[in-house]
Structure 1
Amino acid sequence: MIDSKTRIKARRRAVENPSDVAAMFEAEWPPLNREQLVKFRRSVRRGIVMKDLRIPTYLVRRLNRFVAAMQHRGARYRKTETWTAVAPNGQSVAFPLNDFASTQFKSLVEKYDSFYERTLIDFVTSRIRPGEVFVDVGANLGYVSAFIAKAGAVVFAIEIQRDLIPLIEQVATVNDLDHLRAIHAGASSQAGLSMMPRIEANTGTRLEGQPFYVNYRDPRSLIDDFVPVITLDDAFLEAALLPKVVKIDVEGHEIDVLKGARGIIAAARTTFVVEYHAHLLHVYRRRPSDLIDCFDLDRWSMFQLTDDGLRPLDGMDDIRPDEHDPNPKLVFVPRTA
């Protein structure tokens, strides 16, 4: 993470000595938003015009390649057909509508009388500030990720389905959500490779966790894809990346994802929102009590997220069926928060 104090000091040096190009670059590189990008490009042009200033060649080359990449991505993705969802706070996000997965997801959203995932999105946006990190495990085509990015968060959208990654990138591009990043991977208790069937992307595909699956770990299989698997600790335990909020929606694999986040849980600075798929835990040979075991309830508060807000829970037996949400959303908040 860029040290703001370092930038302030560099900016002061650049003002005091306009010919100090090193200070100018230190104050402005890397750009953190589009406004800073425009300013930095102006500074580079200024440095090139001033013959006595030596502009690092790698910076000019990197900047030009970045601009070209953004133009290429825009040309590829901005032409896509879209539909728009508007949040209760008036924010609107455009979503792609150009293949089976995207049209299927639009149909899913339209089944809800009110704004889809309103409670979840309202809860996360109330917990996160601009610049803080949100990790969306099981992002699908980036619906929740997009609204959280719209609120100013830095968003990592983790999705195992390869065909959904371009859709997340389309969402980021057409909405100018520069801090929404798609990661093609699964999350689990340990890093490595897992498998999933080669089928058309949909809302319910999951990693193959069954040890009895006929093609499990067989590289000769033509009907399966291998998917890289990460742990949240390996990816996000570093201080600069430590998430403010993690949302997990992984079709029964939620306990293994949490076991791969032991370090983040121990740091007790992250709120977890876990979509609980009780009917799918057996696929991964897990029990409801295993979910509770991931958290020390002396240090964590447990809630069920409902349309009426957070309802405190003492254990898994306190979870109530929700007619609006067949898979209850459980929230774990560190008591120090």
Structure 2
Amino acid sequence: MNTWKFVPIETLVDRQTLADAEAFDLNSYTYESQVRGLALRWLAPSKRLLWMAAGLEHIEPELLDWIDSIPRGANYFDFGASNGIFALYAAKRGLSVTAIEPDPSNYFLLSWNAFLNRANDVNIAAFNVAASDRFGVDKLYIRKMELGAHEKIVGSATAVSGDSFHAQHEHAIQLVHFDKWRAQMGLPEPEFVKIDVDGHEVPVIAGARESLSKCKEIFIEIEDAKMDELAGMLRVLGFDRARQYQVQNYAGLWNCIFTRDGAA
């Protein structure tokens, strides 16, 4: 005999707690920005997220410039999309965007921001996986549990600088061999690729060799210590480094644009 019975929430919490829960509305944390003539809406319930939303044009302007140079309708892949600030900008620019973000909290923001910017002219597909050179499970080492934060590192608690850190949290994540996964999922071949994966670049490139060998340009964040190794991997795939820009406030960290035969 089933003895289950409905228990009203009013009997479990006090009135103020219930009133606070009923009053909570994520829409009250929405911020709208104008970026290069485009209106974008963001979920920004913290100072950091508000800074990312309001200051998008000042974070990595060279990345916005690069996105602006991509023809409308092109297939743009964003590895390490975070909360989607650049992926959504690219989608608003008329690109067909595939965004990949392994961190569950940042993926939530990415998904919500895609919802806030839903429109017939926005084409974005988002996936909560880590691109790699194998299928499996690994850990994401999170230096600080904060929405929109960086230093959420696949495989080890090692910062981009090479220094070890104490992870505030470790989260199991799904790794996918990118080339095989893309084929299984029926996703398009990437034409333009952005890679910002905080030290996980080698497995990403190794697992995406087939896909990258067919794409036109790559925008990738690289620290000095890995420049020769990653440039060598991309050279094998037919790319030369055309331009590079120091990442704001990070000495020894560069945003690099790789093109076929170094074409500008």
The TM-score by the shorter chain falls in which range?
A: 0.7 to 0.9
Q: Using structure 1 for the length normalisation, give the TM-score.
A: 0.58
The answer to whether the 8 Å contact 2:140/2:156 transfers is no
Q: List alignment gaps of at least 5 residues for structure 1.
A: 1-76, 214-222, 282-286, 307-320
Gaps in structure 2 of 5+ consecutive residues? 1-24, 159-163
Q: If you compute each CA radius of gyration, which structure gives the higher value, 1 or 2?
A: 1
Aligned with 1:204 (options 140, 148, 151): 151
Question: Matched residues in 1 for 2:66 and 2:89: separation?
Answer: 12
- Alignment of structure 1 residues 22-171 onto 2, 5 Å: 79-88=27-36, 90-98=37-45, 100=46, 103-107=47-51, 115-130=58-73, 132-171=74-113
Structure with more of its chain in strand, by fraction: 2
What is the deviation of 1:107? 2.9
- Deviation at 1:188? 2.0
Q: Which residues of 2 match residues 175-324 of structure 1 at below 5 A?
A: 175-177=117-119, 178-197=122-141, 199-201=145-147, 202-209=149-156, 224-236=170-182, 241-267=188-214, 269-278=215-224, 287-296=226-235, 299-306=238-245, 321=246
Letter in 1 for 2:220: V
Quick one: distance in 2 between partners of 1:298 and 1:247?
16
- Asked if the contact 1:236–1:243 (Cα under 8 Å) also holds between the matched residues in 2, the reply is no
Q: For the Cα contact (< 8 Å) 1:85–1:94, is it kept in 2?
A: yes
How many correspondences in the alignment? Answer: 228
What TM-score, normalized by structure 2, do the two folds share?
A: 0.72
What SS does structure 2 have at the residue aligned with 1:79?
helix
CA distance in 2, matches of 1:80, 1:124: 30
Aligned-CA RMSD value:
3.5
TM-fit CA distance, 1:323: 5.6
Partner of 2:235, secondary structure, is: coil
Q: For residues 146 and 322 of structure 1, do their structure 2 counterparts lie closer, same or farther at Cα, with a shift above 3 Å needed?
A: closer
Aligned-pair distance for 1:322? 6.0
Query: Counterparts of 1:226 and 1:334 in 2: how far apart (Å)?
Result: 36
Indicate the SS of the match to 2:219: strand
- List per-residue Cα deviations over 1:199-239 (Å, max 9, x = no partner): 3442221212369x9xxxxxxxxx53210012331233688
Higher RCO, Cα 8 Å, sep 6+: 2
Query: Of Structure 1 and Structure 2, which has the larger fraction of its residues in helix?
Result: 1
